[in-house]
Structure 1
Amino acid sequence: MVHEFLKYSDRIDVLPVLHGSGDVAVRVREELFRGDYDCLAVPLPATLAPLVMEAIDYLPAVTAVIQPEPSGNGASYVPIDPCQPVIAGLRFAQRERMAVEFIDLETSQFEPSSAYLPDPYALKEVPVEKFSAAILPALPRPPADSQLDQRVRRMAFELHRLELDYERILFLPSLLDWPWIREAYQERRDYPDHETFFTPSQIATVAEETLAFFLGELPFVTALYERARSTLDPDENLSIDGVKELILVARDRWQSARKGNRNWLSPKLLGIYFQYVRNLTLLGKRMTPDLYTLVMAAKQVGGDTFALNVLETARDFPVEFEPAPFEKMKMGIDQADLPGEGVLPVVSRLPGPSSSWRPLELKPEPPPRTSQRWEQMWDPYRQCSWPAEDARIESFHTHVREQAQALLGADLARSEKFTTSVKDGIDIRETLRNWHSGDLYVKEIPPTRGGIEVVVFLFDVPADPDKYAWRTTWHAEHAEESTIGLFATDFRHDLVGPGIGRANYGGVFFLYPPRMIPDIWSDPRIPRTQTLEERLLAAALLHSGERHVAVIAPCPLKASWRRLARRLGKRLLHIPLSRFSGRMIDRLRIVHVLNGKEVRSYAAAFIRGE
């Protein structure tokens, strides 16, 4: 129940609220459940009461009660937001048939007041009275005869009036105003009269794509509060659990659109992401992350595309409801496109804590019409790679080739009893196997004969010929690059910039040192094969100058592949694809194709961080 510290009198309990907070809205609902109140007083003017109560009937459809200024230069509005504590209280009172009183001063031009306040998530552990008392020294006193001072004195008078009619009253003032209303109430200060003016107020539905500028919580989290309300699920921790669900939904959407590359955000990397979000949140002196923090961390951990998915998911409002029969308004930053009024500056009559808007550069996916235009401009006779990707995959190929060389030497190693020299090191396995004899065994690795000239990567086995429609052979531009043969998705169906296509490797082989070879997909010397993987392997075996060919594949070597190698007088050395990080493999599978070398000068502006 409300602490004595927050009572104005024996009949008036006060619950200071932070507008736009789901945590505080839950606290208001709990207080109304526990308390035996017969009246709810809210800091809104009485002229807006009929429209506000009507708009609440249409929740969870998000609406606004708009009151234009007589001058026509702006407007104020009451956000009918499920996570607004005042609206949550009115919704409860309407359902329970509790008396409701709107006690704010009637003003033709509303002047909002806001401040940077502590995160209301602290209310999970700190009682409301302690939270309010801790903030009290930092609250500025309203200037004498200012609009806020007049509103404070009017609300104090209205509370005195309500005491004559009701036994128990719950008042929901702003956390910024409650001590000054208390002071005016106790001192019985003079109160101003309502302003007399007329403007046609109206209800408008807020366009769903602009809810992020209107709601106190993220639209996705607000939808979770509404879902929990309809299913009677607990919602006390949704300010945190809702953020986790948002990220998981964004990850699923992102991975489903990545055409099979599902290893990018592993559980371990997702844990790093949440740890990064936590650190950024604490650096911002908050307990719950804001949208900027979530998107910034997503960009750093998963790249621009994942960050855009987080942003779009946060803006979603996945709730089923009957559309409200009102005209739509589009909300922006401190302005709105109002029905019949046009674009005007607007202020909320239930303003939340002060917020700041910060820029964050993200590279979005091109719209379909733009991609179509780029596809029509593509010259099929001019193709080249992007050097940044070439360097990355060549570095990985070199690393794999060195590993294969080491495995080739390990196959020739032999063990013997220790006599006078440890040779190439103690053979731990053989020593333990003969522990009962007390002998020590050492290993000797003779010099390897030959090396690894060709490395084959098979990412998708079996490969779908319809999916991997692009098959080609690329020759090295300089001595530090390999000659490669590949099959991949069609880059012309995924254009990310003018003259920039994106594809995913299904399989690729690297021939180093590079040399000119015929196109492996039309070379008649290559034996007839049944699958794309076998064709790639046959080309690699044919053009390898060394006896061994390294094959990195997600499955064991098939018998048909071994027969093909014996037929061409070569041997296959298998390295499991699972030995390498799934996220790294997904990154390496992406290849960008440029329509001419001049495209390299601006390609970085369109190729998103992955």
Structure 2
Amino acid sequence: MGLQPSKSEAVLAIGPKIRALPVIHGSGDCAIRVREEVLAHPYDCLAVPLPPSFRDDVEEAVDALPSISVVLQRDAEGETDGFTYVPIDPCQPVIAAVRTAMGERIPRAFIDLESPNFEGRTGIYPDPYALKRVQVAGFASAILPALPPPDPDGSQARRHSWMANRLRDLEARHESILFVCSIMDWPWIRDAYVRGAPDPDPEWFLPQMRTCRVDPNTLIFLLGELPYITALYERGRRELTPDDNLSVDGVKEMLLAARERLRADRPKVAKRITPQLLSVYFRYVRNLSLIERRLTPDLYSLIIAAKQTAGDDFALALAETARHYPYADAFDRGDRPWWWDEPPLRMGDGRGDVPSWGTAPLTSRLPGQAISWRSCELRPKPPEPDRKTWKQRWDPFGMCSWPPEDQRIESFQRHVADQARAILGADLARSEKFTTSVRDGIDIRETLRNWHSGDLYVKVIPPSRGSIDAVVFLFDVPADPRVYVHRATWFAEHANESTLAFFATDPMENLVGPGIAQAEYGGALFLFPPRLIPDIWEDPRLSRLETLEERLLGGGLLHSRERHVALVSPKPPPASWRRLARRHGRKLVHLPLKRFSGQLLERLRTFHVLNGKHVRSYASDFIRDL
């Protein structure tokens, strides 16, 4: 009994027994749609656009999934001296159709024309995520006006005529045929079938076939989807979990996996990737995708958004996660095929390193979306041998700071000093009855308290007395002296900088470039305007102060010219610190650390030590903005 398509699906019917399913090669959404189609209807034959010479090798390689491989066919001698190949990719709709048909014991027919030099055609298609809401017939019909017709005398027209005649042959032996083909070929194969195009003369040649496994590090050049997303489709198949929305949910899972990868290597950087930051990230990715007229993001959009919202470290972790495929050595059933012990093929952009052959051009038999390459500069973590060389060349007598970081933290300490002065003025505020002036504004609380009297009260904030020239930051309380081993006092290079005393992690443990070390403040003291002071870590007047926090605070109390010293710390100062302030005739103005953004503080805490002022000329090439 032949197919009885509905009116909306009639556009996909090639003949009374043949239904076409136009797909975009390399799309996971299309692969799911093909699988659903094969399982939902009683087809007794599956036709795919591959030559018969590929059949045995492709089905053997499909049987080895989820391990990724390629089936190669060498081009005819004297031409391009390259290869055409079929990627055995779980997210390739044709491979998904063959895999499902093999599982359902449905006969398969490979009906493409044998050609010694295949010409692949990529295209620019709408995002196949639209198939979640749009039927295949509507999706294909909408694209139809934009599909360019093939050259009547070219190889593509010969292929279309050949496949149309092979479908006519299958019609004589089967009652219900599903033909999975590229969306670019579908209307012209249907046209050749309807008008009865004659069979072209085949180009007979001896096919030289070969199957190779693929180096896992180069899978990103072979697979249609990202390797990590492809692995999620495989996981859904193996564990029978939903996989119909992985083109979006898979991206979210990949982001969380990248954060876990980063947490293992750089936990403090991963700590900054909060749910709020991820929310900003996803909005940014959505906007980038809409700008490019896509419904789902590509890898470039994901990396750019990661770099600009969370820094290079997160972008690198995301890139490494995206190209990870955990099923590289997994087999669903049976033993490893004989070709698995051969050296792997290394893929590239249109070329590949074929074992025992060398570098050669590669043309896919299942070409998908056209790919455009764009550059994105990311600074990776330097290799260990380079770091050892930089450490050996370090001059301990020539160190300076990185000016952009100086400007950033100086601006912040002035902001903190302004807030501390505002607190001083608030302590002197009082309320009085309104007479002729509202003074510094209406005091709502006092007015409500005396509502029964009908009087209006206003605020009176007198000018604050004195100023603040010493600001102490304590980021980690209590500070472990075994962690914060680097203690120094730096003097200002110009009048707009503060005198700085600090304790920090050892910069020699994290060299990021030649003559460039990275450390993290545990605490810092800023004296502005700058002045010459003895090194507080060597000053005998502070020798009785045992902890790092007390030593830093004591230095601020000792060298402050004003009565008040601003203190930024996680907790209020204990009684011992207040007694220390009274001993020096000073008073502490405390600002809680949580008053400021955690991401801002993490960014300010990280600083770089340069091995001489000449390093500033190239430091920006190695310092990653956090």
Q: In structure 1, what is the Cα distance between the partners aligned to 2:98 and 2:74?
A: 23
Q: Which whole-Å deviations, capped at 9, do the CAs of 1:551-600 have from their partners, x for residues lacking one?
A: 11122323333333233332221111122122211211111110001111
User: 1:550 deviation in Å?
Assistant: 0.9
User: 1:453 deviation in Å?
Assistant: 1.4
AA aligned to 1:147 is S
SS at match of 1:104: coil
For 1:50, the equivalent position in structure 2 comes to: 56
User: 1:407 deviation in Å?
Assistant: 0.5
For 1:140, the equivalent position in structure 2 comes to: 148
Equivalent pairs: percent with the same residue?
A: 57
SS at match of 2:473: strand
For 1:498, the equivalent position in structure 2 comes to: 514
Q: In structure 2, what is the Cα distance between the partners aligned to 1:46 and 1:555?
A: 75
Conserved? CA contact 1:66–1:76, under 8 Å: yes
Number of residues of Structure 1 aligned to a counterpart in Structure 2 = 610
Q: Do residues 376 (structure 1) and 382 (structure 2) align? A: no
> Which of 287, 291, 307 is the matching residue for 1:283?
291
For 1:122, the equivalent position in structure 2 comes to: 130
User: 1:420 deviation in Å?
Assistant: 4.0
Q: How does 1:432-451 map to 2 (within 5 A)?
A: 432-451=448-467
Q: In structure 2, what is the Cα distance between the partners aligned to 1:550 and 1:255?
A: 34
> Which of 55, 66, 69 is the matching residue for 1:63?
69
User: 1:252 deviation in Å?
Assistant: 3.9
Q: In structure 2, what is the Cα distance between the partners aligned to 1:567 and 1:51?
A: 87
For 2:228, the equivalent position in structure 1 comes to: 220
User: 1:26 deviation in Å?
Assistant: 0.6
AA aligned to 1:342 is G
Which TM-score applies when normalising by structure 1? Answer: 0.96
Between 502-511 and 430-439, report the one with greater CA deviation. Answer: 430-439
Q: How does 1:165-176 map to 2 (within 5 A)?
A: 165-176=173-184
User: 1:494 deviation in Å?
Assistant: 1.3
AA aligned to 2:21 is L
For 1:250, the equivalent position in structure 2 comes to: 258
For 1:560, the equivalent position in structure 2 comes to: 576
AA aligned to 1:299 is K
Q: In structure 1, what is the Cα distance between the partners aligned to 2:418 and 2:261?
A: 37
Q: In structure 2, what is the Cα distance between the partners aligned to 1:261 and 1:285?
A: 32
For 1:76, the equivalent position in structure 2 comes to: 84
Q: Do residues 29 (structure 1) and 45 (structure 2) align? A: no
Q: In structure 2, what is the Cα distance between the partners aligned to 1:236 and 1:527?
A: 68
- Distance change >3 Å, CA 258–CA 573, structure 1 → 2: farther
User: 1:92 deviation in Å?
Assistant: 0.8
Q: How does 1:231-310 map to 2 (within 5 A)?
A: 231-254=239-262, 257-261=265-269, 264-310=272-318
Conserved? CA contact 2:255–2:318, under 8 Å: yes
SS at match of 2:257: helix
AA aligned to 1:41 is A
For 2:346, the equivalent position in structure 1 comes to: 330
Between 343-352 and 565-574, report the one with greater CA deviation. Answer: 565-574
Q: In structure 2, what is the Cα distance between the partners aligned to 1:73 and 1:513?
A: 74
User: 1:339 deviation in Å?
Assistant: 1.0
Q: In structure 2, what is the Cα distance between the partners aligned to 1:564 and 1:584?
A: 30
AA aligned to 1:169 is I
User: 1:27 deviation in Å?
Assistant: 0.4
Q: Do residues 408 (structure 1) and 427 (structure 2) align? A: no
Q: Which whole-Å deviations, capped at 9, do the CAs of 1:201-257 have from their partners, x for residues lacking one?
A: 111111111111111011111111111212211111111111222223323433554
Conserved? CA contact 1:263–1:583, under 8 Å: no
Q: In structure 2, what is the Cα distance between the partners aligned to 1:489 and 1:310?
A: 27
Q: Do residues 510 (structure 1) and 526 (structure 2) align? A: yes
Conserved? CA contact 1:227–1:319, under 8 Å: no
Q: How does 1:584-595 map to 2 (within 5 A)?
A: 584-595=600-611
> Unaligned stretches of 5+ in structure 2?
none
> Which of 336, 341, 345 is the matching residue for 2:357?
341
Conserved? CA contact 2:316–2:380, under 8 Å: yes
> Which of 482, 498, 501 is the matching residue for 1:482?
498
Conserved? CA contact 2:68–2:328, under 8 Å: no
For 2:621, the equivalent position in structure 1 comes to: 605
SS at match of 1:132: helix
Conserved? CA contact 1:488–1:503, under 8 Å: yes
Q: Do residues 366 (structure 1) and 382 (structure 2) align? A: yes
SS at match of 2:541: coil
> Which of 553, 562, 567 is the matching residue for 1:551?
567
User: 1:497 deviation in Å?
Assistant: 1.2
For 1:185, the equivalent position in structure 2 comes to: 193
Q: In structure 1, what is the Cα distance between the partners aligned to 2:158 and 2:401?
A: 69
Q: Do residues 524 (structure 1) and 540 (structure 2) align? A: yes
- Distance change >3 Å, CA 319–CA 543, structure 1 → 2: farther
Between 143-152 and 299-308, report the one with greater CA deviation. Answer: 299-308
